[in-house]
Amino acid sequence: MPIESPPTSAANPHSQTALLLTSGESASSLQLLPASSFSIDQLVAAYNQTRVDYLVPMPMNAARLAEYVRIYDVDLDRSWVAVDGDQILGLAMLGVRPGQTWITRLGVLPVKRRRGVGEALMRALLDATDQLGINCTSLEVIKHNTPAHTLFLKLGFTETRELLILRRPPGPPGEIPAAEVDWLDRAEALALLAARSASPAWTNETRSFANIENTLGVSLSLPDGSTGWLLFEQQKFLLSHFVMRTVQGNAVSLCRALLAHLYQRYPDLDTHTENIPIDDSHLPAFFETRFVESFRRIEMQLYTPD
């Protein structure tokens, strides 16, 4: 992808990271430039071109990418774009939070793959993590994306768990179980996250929810004494970012009741929720409530010595 002019960022000491890539008998000079040197529109255009043949299509626009950067604490000064002359070859982004980083949106143009571009981007992100004094890095790779998975294993990442991405089409629920139901505003919903004991994926961490403007929730009690809650993001046409907790009682019956009351209130909204662990005790109720699996990700982590 050509760029209008080679961007520079002299104030950033890492803005001119130069590497030499060799493919066959030819060699090309590769520069890694901070993503902050580019406009959001340029980053979107580059990202979409790296995903034209992707295993799971994930098109992006400028508004969505800007929101993604904000919600997930992506540091554009420590994210990288690979260029050769005036051509963007690939990009990768780094989320930064206290004590941990998260690698996301790695992509290389199809015609430039298997030449070391992806590995160069990954190593630059790991270097940035090291410079921050952080020794824990995580990422998710789509299951069956063998080239990326192999690269991450080569760099020392280990698998931690599988995560599900689920969808549900609009439509009312079936039977509505009797329950005492309380609808929660944003502040009430966020307060519940402090009670979580599980380690969520980066996208579902408390910090991510704190960055989401339309976080809402619902809590309920069933006649048998089961209690729990569901947090979610309400968008104009979509519900997303589901986090559920059973405080006491049967997780499946509680989840079934929470989803029934949710879709009684929002029958016309599509649903897309991601990164639910495959061992989540609520999953059977999701599938009973017309959710389907879109695909799976493998979560991976890398710990380096202090």
Which pLDDT tens digit goes with each residue over 94-132? 999 999 999 999 999 887 777 789 999 999 999 999 999
Q: How far apart are CA 106 and CA 108, in angstroms?
A: 7
Please name which of 93, 185, 178 lies closest in space to residue 139, comparing C-alpha atoms.
Answer: 93
Q: Provide the pLDDT for residue 93.
A: 98
Phi, psi (deg, nearest 5) at residue 18:
-110, 140
Q: Is 90 helix (H, G, I), strand (E, B) or coil?
A: strand
Task: Look up residue 66 and give its amino acid.
Answer: A
Domain boundaries, the chain: 17-134, 166-299
In 35-151 the beta strands, taken as DSSP E runs, fall at 80-84, 87-97, 100-108, 136-142
Q: What is the rounded end-to-end Cα distance, in angstroms, of the chain?
A: 39
Residue spans of the chain under pLDDT 50: 1, 3-27
Q: Provide the pLDDT for residue 28.
A: 59
Structure tokens at 137: 């890095």
Provide CATH code, domain 17-134.
3.40.630.30
Q: How far apart are CA 121 and CA 134, in angstroms?
A: 18
Quick one: fold of 166-299? Aminopeptidase (3.40.630)
Q: Provide the pLDDT for residue 5.
A: 38
Model confidence pLDDT, tens digit, residues 237-274 = 999 999 999 999 999 999 999 999 999 999 999 999 99
User: How many whole angstroms from its chain centre is CA 293?
Assistant: 17
Q: How far apart are CA 135 and CA 152, in angstroms?
A: 16
Q: Provide the pLDDT for residue 23.
A: 37
Q: Provide the pLDDT for residue 223.
A: 96
Q: Provide the pLDDT for residue 176.
A: 95
Q: Provide the pLDDT for residue 194.
A: 83
Domains 17-134 and 166-299 share a fold: yes
Contact indicator for 1, 109 with CB cutoff of 8 Å: yes
